Amino acid sequence: MSLHETRFFSNTLQMLTTVEVILPEAKNSVGKVPTLTATSPKFPVIWLLHGLSDDESAWLRYSNIERYASDYGYAIVMPRVDRSFYTDMTYGPNYWTYLTTELYQRMQFFYPIATEPANNIVAGLSMGGYGALKYGLNFPERFRAIGAFSPVINIAEFQHNTTVDMQDWSLVFGGRPLKDTSLDIDWLMSAKNPQQAAVKKLAVYTAAGDVDFMRTENEAYRQRFAATFAHYQWHLGTGGHEWRLWDAEMQHFLAWLATL
Task: Tell me if residue 100 falls in helix, strand or coil.
Answer: helix
Task: Tell me if residue 105 falls in helix, strand or coil.
Answer: helix
Evaluate whether 48 touches 77 at the Cβ level (below 8 Å).
yes
Residues 242-260 pLDDT 10s? 999 999 999 999 999 999 9
Residues 101-119 pLDDT 10s? 999 999 999 999 999 999 9
Residue 162: band (very low, low, confident or very high) from pLDDT cuts 50, 70, 90: confident
Mean pLDDT, the chain, as a whole number? Answer: 94
Evaluate whether 189 touches 137 at the Cβ level (below 8 Å).
yes
Considering Cα of 188, then 191, then 194, then 195, what sign does the dihedral take? positive
Alpha carbon distance 260, 258 (integer Å) = 6
Residue 40: band (very low, low, confident or very high) from pLDDT cuts 50, 70, 90: confident
Domains of the chain (ranges, CATH numbers):
2-27+39-257 (3.40.50.1820)
**Whole-structure pTM value:** 0.95
